[in-house]
Amino acid sequence: MTAPPSFPPNSFKAQPDDRGHFGDYGGRYVAETLMPLVLDLDRAYRAAKADPAFQAQFDDLLEHYVGRPSPLYYAERLTESLRQSAPKTMGAQIWFKRDELNHTGAHKINNCIGQILLAMRMGKTRIIAETGAGQHGVATATVCARFGLPCVIYMGARDIERQAPNVFRMKLLGAEVRQVTSGAHTLKDAMNEGMRDWVANVHDTFYIIGTAAGPHPYPEMVRDFQSVIGTEARAQMLARTGRLPDLLVAAIGGGSNAIGLFHPFLDDPDVAMLGVEAAGHGLDKEHAASLAGGFPGVLHGNKTYLLQDDDGQITEAHSISAGLDYPGIGPEHAWLKDIGRVEYDSATDTEALDAFQLLCRTEGIIPALEPSHAIAAVTRRARDMREDQIILANLCGRGDKDIFTVAEALGVEI
């Protein structure tokens, strides 16, 4: 998250504009009560971004607390196993950016470190967050414990049932987990409750949003904090292979791990990018693929693609991965889709489960269900690429939290 240099006029990195618009998307669609606060946050973020001391503190915590840089890993056995079903000389090399090795087991912590430093800089004394699967809740509870700030996590009643281990982790870390029983009792409703809390406690509360969505400056700020993923990966790939990857692949719920990987490569014209949404039971059934099956609209402070009906009512998302189970997507992805710089595809629950097991057995890595969607797309693409080509996928979380869900899906009792 270094201060941006001035970009050439045709750069893909020059977004958003100063009102937070990525093309038609993004913006600040919030109630008037929050608007002065959002403007204040924007000013504070600009100042922090320009302050070398803030950057130094962020970098120091990422290195010594989170454990960065995360490794760049060549998945040799996975590569070989996919080449067995590929035509001769085909089957790209598969590399992983291993953000699942971060403290707390996912990329979420990168963003939480950045936002809590900003919260303290703004003199805020209370932290709130929403969570779906619980990964962002755990990461937020972690940084609150680290800095001694009280923490309230909103979580849908349905997700609390599905993710009991993470609920216990948050409580161990000292957070108060508030069960959300409004609406459909899932992530979007937890986010509504987060905004309701924020609106009522604007004087002392900082809302740590977990993905690259929400009112400006959140999408930009979260992207900047997560861009450490792509910045590291780009340098590591150049150091290890002397070249850039041909294709980047990342799973997309709200889209923070994907934008974190993609953004530092956006102006490298030879690097293709693929974002993978959750197709749930299938795109013609229940799913969470906002780009593939949604339409532009306004929710949670930004304009973006949303799963909605003809009257603009938000429809429920479904994915086996609670972390992808959200009816919207970060606005920068909406823009990148429309301009064609990034390609978007999807993977079903079943494809993700297959990819999950494939990675376990070929590489000895138990991935989270979120990046399992990315791995599923990798297995489809690798066979159609030459063996001298490189795919770099983001392994954005580890699968410890998902073993119960996977066991149930495979019909295994543990």
Partner 1 sequence: MTRLAGAFEKSHPALVAFVTAGDGPTRAILDALVAGGADVIELGMPFTDPMADGPAIQAANLRSLGAGTTTADILLIAKGFRGRHPDVPLVLMGYANPMLRRGADWFAHAAADAGVDGVICVDVPPEEDDALGPALRAARIDLIRLATPTTDVARLPTVLDGASGFIYYVSVAGITGLQQAQQASIDDAVARLKAATTLPVAVGFGIRTPDQAAAVARVADGVVVGSAIVELVGQHGADAPAAVTAYIKSLADAVASARKVTA
The single residue among 179, 192, 241, 389 that binds partner 1, judged by CB under 8 A, is 192
Q: Does the footprint of partner 1 cover residue 189 (CB under 8 A)? A: yes
Alpha helices in 148-248 (DSSP H): 157-162, 164-172, 187-200, 218-226, 228-241
Backbone phi, psi, residue 396, to 5°: -85, -5
| Minimum CB–partner distance for residue 205 and partner 1 (Å) | 11
| Minimum CB–partner distance for residue 207 and partner 1 (Å) | 12
| Residue 215: cis peptide before it, omega within 30 degrees of 0 | no
Considering beta carbons, is residue 96 or 206 the nearer one to partner 1? 206
Considering beta carbons, is residue 57 or 201 the nearer one to partner 1? 201
Residue written as tokens 């805020």? Answer: 124
Which one of the spans 52-60, 140-148, 250-258, 291-299 is the region binding partner 1 (CB under 8 A)?
Answer: 291-299
| Minimum CB–partner distance for residue 17 and partner 1 (Å) | 12
The single residue among 6, 10, 84, 313 that binds partner 1, judged by CB under 8 A, is 313
Please tell me the distance from the alpha carbon of residue 313 to that of residue 184, in angstroms, as a whole number.
13
Considering beta carbons, is residue 195 or 222 the nearer one to partner 1? 195
The single residue among 36, 67, 71, 165 that binds partner 1, judged by CB under 8 A, is 36
Find the distance separating the first CA and the last CA of the chain, reported in whole Å. Answer: 43
SS3 of 197, please? helix
Q: Does the footprint of partner 1 cover residue 32 (CB under 8 A)? A: yes
Which one of the spans 167-175, 206-214, 307-315, 378-386 is the region binding partner 1 (CB under 8 A)?
Answer: 307-315
Please tell me the distance from the alpha carbon of residue 240 to that of residue 72, in angstroms, as a whole number.
9
Q: Does the footprint of partner 1 cover residue 241 (CB under 8 A)? A: no
Which one of the spans 186-194, 274-282, 377-385, 393-401 is the region binding partner 1 (CB under 8 A)?
Answer: 186-194
Q: Does the footprint of partner 1 cover residue 183 (CB under 8 A)? A: yes
* Site track for partner 1 across 143-182, x = CB under 8 A: ---------------------------------------x
Give a three-class secondary structure readout of 314-369: ECCCCCCCHHHCCCCCCHHHHHHHHHCCCEEEEEEHHHHHHHHHHHHHHHCCCECH
| Minimum CB–partner distance for residue 235 and partner 1 (Å) | 37
| Minimum CB–partner distance for residue 293 and partner 1 (Å) | 15
The token pair at 300 is: 């949670």
The token pair at 67 is: 């454990």
Side by side, which strands form the sheet with 301-306?
A: 21-22, 25-29, 301-306, 295-299
Give me the numbers of helices (H) and strands (E) for the chain, helices first please: 16, 14
CB 83 within 8 A of CB 388: no
Sign of CA dihedral 121, 122, 124, 127: negative
CB 136 within 8 A of CB 295: no
| Minimum CB–partner distance for residue 22 and partner 1 (Å) | 14
The single residue among 158, 188, 263, 401 that binds partner 1, judged by CB under 8 A, is 188
Using CB under 8 A as the binding rule, the residues of this chain from 8 to 27 that contact partner 1 are 19, 27
Paired residues of 156 in beta bridges:
180
The single residue among 1, 16, 22, 30 that binds partner 1, judged by CB under 8 A, is 30
Q: Does the footprint of partner 1 cover residue 234 (CB under 8 A)? A: no
Chain positions contacting partner 1, by CB under 8 A: 19, 27-37, 182-183, 188-189, 192, 195-196, 199-200, 202, 295, 297-301, 303, 306, 308, 310-314
